[in-house]
């Protein structure tokens, strides 16, 4: 089994950047903490949050990409589902980042059909279907389900047609179960596995974004924010011996024991959820 080690800086890039250490040092520190080999690729952007994506500073992106280019590290740009309010701004931001396309950023991950169609029609990079497309239930509170072997349901006839139509070359999954079997995947698709945290639920109402809002303006869908998610995360104790986190609008559980079967090559996309652990 060939495992390609990647780091996922989506949702947390700014936190690491703010540590004021060279980005290459950050990459090596995260690699070491995760016990990974050489980092082949990083993911930047956001899987879950439009406002987070829009807030990514150009200066930071430029520096991070410069570091990756110098180190020969590939970069995947991850696009969240933008709600109506932010869809035009999202496209504008993507256009701004397109100066890096085919240079440092060599592929894009999309998370909805609208964006799949848009990116495919306007840019020529390779495309991944992101983790929000994969809708198999995941719930470790149901042990019998969690320990069953998952055969992801995404591999339908329609998806095979879609892959041809939109030049999709990769698909990203979460570690939802104890075992995931990819024997039904289309031959040319590269699998990416997000680890060690599996997202369980997300949305467009963000608790954390409401911290500084008046009570009658709290918890509005798609509210503007000041990236408060950079300042706090919440850890939950569900009395199951498992780590549960809220980062921004998303709830994750830790799953460190997920066996991958049915493919002889995949990307492991490691997410350093808590930068305090990485120092």
Partner 1 sequence: MNVLVPLNNAEHVVDYINAGAGEFYMGFYDREWNEKFGEYADINRLTGFREKANPYDFEMVLQFIQKMKEKQRPLYITFNASCYSKEAFQYLEQYFVRLKDANVDGVIVSCVELVNLAKAIGIPSVISTIAGIYNSDMARFYADHGTKRIILPRDLSLSEIESITKNVPDMEYEVFMMRNGCAFSDSNCLGMHRTEMCSICSSITKADNEILVKDDNFANRHAAELNNMIYNQYFHNAACGLCSIYRFLQMGIVAGKIVGRSDDWEGVCRDIEYIRENVGIARSCKDEEEYLRRMVFPKDRNQVCKLGLSCYYPEVRFV
Is 186 an interacting residue with respect to partner 1 (CB under 8 A)?
no
Among 203, 257, 259, 261, binds partner 1 (CB under 8 A): 203
Look-up of token digits 């991950």:
109
Q: Measured between alpha carbons, how far is 279 from 276 in angstroms, rounded to an integer?
A: 6
Of the candidates 55, 65, 59, 58, which has an alpha carbon nearest to the alpha carbon of residue 23? 65
Among 21, 70, 99, 238, binds partner 1 (CB under 8 A): 238
Of the candidates 52, 117, 51, which has an alpha carbon nearest to the alpha carbon of residue 86? 51
Nearest to partner 1 of 65, 129 (CB atom): 129
Is 227 an interacting residue with respect to partner 1 (CB under 8 A)?
no
Supply φ then ψ for residue 121, to 5 degrees: -80, -15
Among 169, 207, 254, 263, binds partner 1 (CB under 8 A): 207
Is 165 an interacting residue with respect to partner 1 (CB under 8 A)?
no
Nearest to partner 1 of 73, 116 (CB atom): 116
Instruction: Give the nearest distance from C-beta 156 to partner 1 in angstroms.
Output: 5
Q: Pick the stretch among 19-27, 52-60, 64-72, 151-159 that binds partner 1 (CB under 8 A).
A: 151-159
Is 254 an interacting residue with respect to partner 1 (CB under 8 A)?
no
Q: Measured between alpha carbons, how far is 53 from 205 in angstroms, rounded to an integer?
A: 16
Of the candidates 84, 79, 51, which has an alpha carbon nearest to the alpha carbon of residue 224? 51
The bridge status of strand 126-129 relative to strand 149-150 is unpaired
Angle at 82 between CA 23 and CA 272, to 5 degrees: 30
Where along the sequence are the contacts to partner 1 (CB under 8 A)? 81-85, 87, 112-115, 117-118, 132, 135-139, 141-142, 145, 151, 153-158, 176, 184, 199-205, 207-208, 210-212, 215-222, 230-239, 244, 246, 249, 251, 274, 276
């Amino acid at each position: 089994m060939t495992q390609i080690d990647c780091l996922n800086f989506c949702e947390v890039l700014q936190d690491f950047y703010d540590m004021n250490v060279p980005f290459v040092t950050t990459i090596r520190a995260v690699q070491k903490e995760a016990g990974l080999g050489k980092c082949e690729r990083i993911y930047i952007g956001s899987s879950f949050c439009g406002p987070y994506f829009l807030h990514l500073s150009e200066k930071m992106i430029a520096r991070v990409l410069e570091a990756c280019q110098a180190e020969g590290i590939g970069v995947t740009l991850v696009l969240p589902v933008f709600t109506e309010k932010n869809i035009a701004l999202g496209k504008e931001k993507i256009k701004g980042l397109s100066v890096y396309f085919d240079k440092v950023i060599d592929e894009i991950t999309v998370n909805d059909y609208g964006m799949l169609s848009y990116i495919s029609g306007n840019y020529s990079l390779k495309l991944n279907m992101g983790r929000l497309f994969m809708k198999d239930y995941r719930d470790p509170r149901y042990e019998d389900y969690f320990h069953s072997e998952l055969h992801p349901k995404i591999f339908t006839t329609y998806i095979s047609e879609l892959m041809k139509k939109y030049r999709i070359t990769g698909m990203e999954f979460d570690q939802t179960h104890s075992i995931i079997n990819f024997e039904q995947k289309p031959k040319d698709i590269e699998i990416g596995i997000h680890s060690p945290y599996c997202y369980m639920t997300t949305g467009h109402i963000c608790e954390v974004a409401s911290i500084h809002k008046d009570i009658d303006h709290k918890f509005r869908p798609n509210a503007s924010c000041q990236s408060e998610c950079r300042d706090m995360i919440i850890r939950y104790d569900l009395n199951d011996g498992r780590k549960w986190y809220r980062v921004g609008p998303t709830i994750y559980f830790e799953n460190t024991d997920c066996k991958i079967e049915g493919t002889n090559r995949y990307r492991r996309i490691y997410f350093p959820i808590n930068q305090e652990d990485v120092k």
